[in-house]
């Protein structure tokens, strides 16, 4: 049976990949040591989702291994080397704010962990497809140099060339990235170079806000999920800077994995794609609050702080045109309202259950 190897298998993207490929009758090998709990505390733990995946899919095998552990990873690659057809690398330290607390931990997970996987792929699974979950934060704060117009509830682009979002041609240089942005950019470039230098079939997907009901949202990571959680539990939400008018595009984790599926069927070497919800699924924080309040009928308690996060984007929408031109069978199946409604339903369910 053909094997899909997924890192960060209990996280949002990883668990969606496990579910997606298990349903397509692949054997799925998951790697996840629940380091998210270390980053964000008990609310960030993914152990319950790990147990759910093991319970629901007979063709799923889980390994509790740190991706910085080269020898541990090598044992897995040696064991399954003849059957691995795809590596989906979604394990990461994912937070802007957290990365400044422990820069070496952040870099070792995001950069060293990635080169470990690339080296083992080259050695044991050279014909497989390697898909990397990158981030729009590799552009640093360059998107903030786009001229904007301030509207009532959001910022909007002045230059119509950016109306449909940021393209891959935007520079990653001469900008403030945050420590997280740098470690992810390092990994992003490594995956590109292993494609171009060693002809591995590598795809780099620079995501916008990846979200969905399976996100273990916390204050430091998981914008929409934590926003819903705060609303339902009547917690005060703090907006960091930009008057709450900062804009993000939001993509459901299923739609992201479906894009991985298209790449898996027709791979390239060292190719970069911006991938996200696009303009249709974009919203400001204030607009997201408005939609959540309409759905839950609960008034949001929030406060807008003057100071923004380091390297944070004032306006960012992913331009998906490069990907859709190469893979015209792919399209978004979840609207912004669909995504928020799903997140609300799951949070209400768990609140009643507890």
Render pLDDT for 45-75 as a digit per residue (tens, 0 to 9): 999 999 999 999 999 999 999 999 999 999 9
Helix ranges (H only) for the chain are 12-23, 36-40, 47-56, 70-80, 96-99, 103-107, 113-124, 178-198, 223-232, 253-265, 285-296, 321-326, 336-353
Q: Is the pLDDT of residue 151 over 90?
A: yes
> Are the C-beta atoms of residues 280 and 332 closer than 8 Å to each other?
yes
Residue 214: the pLDDT is: 86
Residue 137: the pLDDT is: 94
Q: Is the pLDDT of residue 310 over 80?
A: no
Q: Is the pLDDT of residue 219 over 80?
A: no
Q: Is the pLDDT of residue 145 over 80?
A: yes
Give the mean pLDDT of 132-149: 96
Give the mean pLDDT of 294-307: 95
Is residue 350 very low, low, confident or very high in pLDDT (cuts 50, 70, 90)? low
What is the rounded CA–CA span in Å between residue 232 and residue 344? 8
Residue 338: the pLDDT is: 97
* CATH code of the domain containing 196: 3.40.50.720
Query: Range of 297's domain?
Result: 3-353
At 233, give phi and psi (nearest 5°).
Answer: -95, 5
Share of the chain above pLDDT 90, in %: 89
b/e sequence 214-250, b meaning 16+ C-beta within 10 Å: bbbbbbbbbbbbbbbbbbbeeeebebbebbbbbbbbb
What is the rounded CA–CA span in Å between residue 52 and residue 343? 18
Render pLDDT for 78-136 as a digit per residue (tens, 0 to 9): 999 989 999 999 999 999 889 999 999 999 999 999 999 999 999 999 999 999 999 99
Give the mean pLDDT of 167-181: 95
Is residue 39 very low, low, confident or very high in pLDDT (cuts 50, 70, 90)? very high
> Is the whole-model pTM more than 0.85?
yes
> Are the C-beta atoms of residues 119 and 190 closer than 8 Å to each other?
no
Q: Is the pLDDT of residue 23 over 70?
A: yes
What is the rounded CA–CA span in Å between residue 292 and residue 154? 16
Residue 308: the pLDDT is: 87
What is the rounded CA–CA span in Å between residue 54 and residue 57? 6
**Domain total of the chain:** 1
Residue 220: the pLDDT is: 65
Residue 236: the pLDDT is: 94
Is residue 167 very low, low, confident or very high in pLDDT (cuts 50, 70, 90)? very high
Mean of all residue pLDDT scores within the chain: 95
What is the rounded CA–CA span in Å between residue 137 and residue 104? 18
Residue 97: the pLDDT is: 85
**Lowest mean pLDDT across 111-115, 185-189, 225-229:** 225-229
**Crossing angle for the helix pair 285-296 and 223-232, to the nearest 10 degrees:** 40
Q: Is the pLDDT of residue 349 over 70?
A: no
**Lowest mean pLDDT across 94-98, 139-143, 191-195:** 94-98
Render pLDDT for 276-299 as a digit per residue (tens, 0 to 9): 999 999 999 999 999 999 999 999
């Amino acid at each position: 049976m053909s094997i899909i190897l997924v890192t960060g298998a209990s996280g949002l993207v990883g668990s969606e990949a496990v579910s997606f490929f298990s349903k397509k009758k692949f054997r799925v090998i998951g790697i996840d040591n629940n380091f998210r709990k270390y980053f964000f505390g008990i609310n960030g733990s993914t152990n319950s989702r790990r147990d759910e995946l093991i319970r629901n899919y007979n063709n799923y095998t889980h390994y509790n291994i740190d991706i910085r552990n080269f020898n541990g990873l090598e044992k897995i690659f040696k064991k399954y080397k003849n059957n691995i057809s795809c590596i989906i690398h979604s394990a990461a330290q994912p937070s802007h704010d957290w990365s400044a607390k422990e820069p070496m931990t952040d870099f070792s997970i995001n950069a060293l962990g990635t080169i470990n996987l690339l080296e083992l792929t080259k050695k044991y699974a050279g014909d497989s497809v390697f898909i990397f979950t990158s981030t729009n934060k590799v552009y640093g704060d360059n998107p903030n140099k786009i001229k904007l117009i301030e509207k009532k509830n959001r910022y909007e682009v002045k230059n119509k060339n950016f109306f449909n979002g940021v393209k891959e041609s935007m520079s990653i240089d001469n900008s403030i990235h945050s420590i997280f942005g740098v470690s992810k950019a390092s990994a992003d470039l490594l995956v590109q170079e292993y494609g171009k230098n060693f002809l591995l079939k590598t795809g780099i997907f620079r995501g916008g806000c990846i979200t969905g009901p399976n996100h273990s949202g916390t204050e430091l990571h998981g914008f929409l999920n934590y926003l819903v959680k705060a609303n339902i539990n009547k917690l005060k939400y703090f907006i960091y800077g930009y008057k709450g008018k900062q804009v993000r595009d939001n993509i459901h984790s299923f739609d992201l994995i479906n894009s991985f599926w298209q790449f898996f069927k027709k791979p390239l070497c060292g190719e970069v794609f911006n991938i996200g919800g696009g303009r249709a699924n974009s919203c400001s924080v204030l607009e997201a609050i408005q939609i959540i309040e309409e759905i839950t009928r609960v008034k949001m308690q929030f406060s807008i702080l003057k100071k923004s996060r380091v390297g944070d984007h004032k306006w960012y929408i992913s331009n998906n045109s490069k990907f859709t031109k190469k893979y015209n069978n792919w399209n978004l199946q979840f609207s912004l309202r669909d995504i928020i409604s799903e997140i609300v339903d799951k949070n209400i369910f768990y609140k009643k259950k507890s």
